[in-house]
């Protein structure tokens, strides 16, 4: 006999986040790091026979906002509340022609320009780094956006209250707190990596500005929804396929103290759990993240070096919630048959779910080319094998 759910989604998520055993493993889909590409979503809609006016919630990653019918079909337990740009920011995509080619260009609040060729429309890459030639003095003079501009948060409390009062779902914020990564977006990756060796004072100056922005941002955001959300998502990629992206000494001396200050700042303003996103092989950084005050790790890239699910759960499963890790998205999800998907999910759930402390998700966003039948197999297996 098939097992039946005995908890609301919010009860289920809170149990898991507190390392207690819920009725089944919670399931997530629909965030900026746990989402689905527009083209993969359109194919999924066609496969499921669901109609939806597709909206893009992240133009850089070309992520679609999944409709309620899709979320309910897959048993998704989390709903999201997003802040937005301030009224003074007139963002939007412009179409420009360069070298005879049509491009879609987007300038963000920090002056970074993201571009996507019209004949591809898969995702945006950075085409302009505003601080590429800047000095430390230029960083001080640069017009950074105002993090606590109240118009960023118009309507977010009303939406959070609607979700809390009218739905059974757990509530999460969208991603924020990107203290490190936005710096290299503004500087350029190669120049930033050179700075870490030759000009660390520049890095510290820019990191300090970025931290100040996010401290102000969370002052404003959490004044609105800090008492209503269950999860607050922040993140910076610090790991690659085989290990740290840059010298761990630099991370621990310069980046980590600023991340920790932000995490403790957030925790002083909300009882929500803190979710941290970093791709790659980060097992060596988990003690640092725990020291920072992180409660949840995402995406748990099990295909990266030394990110073995069994070892992760054994070493850190009593102190850290794993949110992701449901499948190898590099080699299995795009290319395997649905039956193989189902077996892969079953094995990972057997490892991650004991004792709670686990939320199921595809590892990072579902990309173009993933067959819709594989997506269905992924989430159906999560429900089938996720019961305790």
Mean predicted lDDT score pLDDT of the chain: 97
% of the chain residues with pLDDT over 70? 100
Q: Tokens 């507190």 — which residue?
A: 18
Asked if residue 342 is part of any domain, the answer here is: yes
**Residue 363 contacts residue 327 (beta carbons within 8 Å):** yes
d(CA 70, CA 50): 8
Task: Name the domain count of the chain.
Answer: 1
Distance between CA atoms of residues 348 and 310, nearest Å: 9
Per-residue model confidence as pLDDT tens digits over 178-219: 999 999 999 999 999 999 999 999 999 999 999 999 999 999
* Long-range pairs, 99-108, Cβ under 8 A, ≥24: 103/127, 104/59, 106/59, 106/60
Residue 292: φ, ψ to 5°: -65, -25
**pLDDT 10s digits, 21-72:** 999 999 999 999 999 999 999 999 999 999 999 999 999 999 999 999 999 9
State the first-to-last Cα distance of the chain, in angstroms, to the nearest integer. 14
CA distance 282 to 311: 13
Per the model's pLDDT, the better-predicted residue between 145 and 2 turns out to be: 145
Residue 329 has pLDDT above 70, yes or no: yes
Q: What is the pLDDT of residue 1?
A: 58
Q: Please check whether residue 35 lies inside any domain of the structure.
A: yes
Residue % of the chain over a pLDDT of 90 = 97
The domain of 65 spans 26-77+322-388
Task: For residue 206, give the 3-state DSSP assignment.
Answer: helix
> Is position 169 within any domain?
no
Cα separation, 60 vs 205, in Å, equals 27
DSSP 188-227: -HHHHHHHHHH-HHHHHHHHHHHHHHHHHHHHHHHHHHTT
85-97: per-residue pLDDT in tens?
999 998 889 999 9
Mean pLDDT of 114-125: 95
pLDDT at 91: 84
Place of tokens 């739905």: 167
Rg of the chain on CA atoms, in Å: 21
- Asked if residue 189 belongs to a domain, the reply is no
56 occurs within a structural domain: yes
Q: Domain for residue 282, yes or no?
A: no
**Token pair recorded at residue 298:** 């995402």
pTM of the complete model beyond 0.75: yes
Query: Token digits for 25?
Result: 């493993």
Alpha-carbon span 127 to 4, nearest angstrom: 51
Label residue 99 by pLDDT band (50, 70, 90).
Answer: confident
138-147 average pLDDT score: 96
Q: Looking at the domain assignment, is residue 93 inside a domain?
A: no
Question: Does a structural domain hold residue 378?
Answer: yes
Give me the DSSP letters along 110-134: TS-EEEEETTT-S--EEEE-TTTT-
Residues 6+ apart with CB under 8 A from 187: 129, 131, 132, 134, 195, 206
Confidence of residue 2 (pLDDT cuts 50, 70, 90): confident
């Amino acid at each position: 006999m098939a097992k039946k759910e005995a908890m609301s989604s919010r009860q289920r998520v809170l149990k898991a986040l507190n390392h207690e055993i819920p009725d089944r493993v919670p399931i997530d889909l629909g965030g900026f790091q746990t989402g689905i590409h527009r083209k993969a979503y359109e194919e999924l809609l066609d496969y499921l026979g669901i109609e939806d006016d597709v909206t893009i919630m992240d133009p850089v990653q070309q992520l679609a906002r999944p409709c309620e019918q899709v979320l309910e079909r897959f048993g998704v337990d989390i709903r999201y509340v997003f802040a937005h740009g301030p009224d003074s920011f007139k963002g939007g995509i412009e179409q420009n022609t360069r070298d005879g080619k049509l491009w879609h260009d987007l300038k963000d609040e920090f002056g970074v320009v993201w571009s996507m060729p019209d004949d591809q429309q898969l995702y945006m890459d950075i085409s302009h780094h505003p601080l590429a030639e800047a000095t430390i003095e230029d960083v001080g003079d640069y017009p950074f956006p105002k993090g606590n501009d109240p118009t960023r948060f118009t309507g977010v409390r009303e939406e959070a209250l609607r979700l809390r009062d009218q739905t059974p779902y757990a509530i999460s914020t969208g991603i924020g707190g990107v203290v490190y990564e936005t710096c290299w977006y503004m500087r350029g990756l190669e120049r930033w990596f050179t700075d870490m060796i030759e000009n660390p004072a520049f890095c510290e100056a820019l990191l300090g500005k970025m931290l100040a922005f996010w401290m102000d941002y969370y002052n404003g955001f959490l004044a609105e929804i800090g008492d209503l959300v269950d999860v607050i998502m922040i993140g910076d990629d610090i790991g690659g396929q085989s290990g740290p992206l840059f010298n761990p000494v630099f991370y621990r001396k310069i980046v980590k103290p600023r991340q920790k200050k932000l995490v403790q700042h957030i925790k002083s303003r909300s009882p929500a759990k803190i979710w941290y996103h970093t791709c790659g092989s980060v097992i060596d950084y988990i003690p640092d993240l725990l020291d920072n005050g992180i409660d949840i790790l995402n995406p748990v890239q099990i295909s990266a070096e030394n990110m073995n699910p069994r070892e992760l759960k054994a070493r850190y499963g009593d102190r850290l919630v794993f949110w992701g890790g449901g499948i190898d998205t590099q080699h299995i999800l795009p290319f395997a048959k649905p039956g193989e998907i189902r077996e892969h999910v079953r094995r990972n759930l057997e490892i991650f779910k004991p004792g709670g402390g686990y939320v199921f998700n595809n590892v990072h966003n579902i990309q173009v080319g993933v067959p819709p039948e594989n997506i269905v197999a992924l989430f159906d297996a999560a429900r089938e094998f996720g019961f305790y």
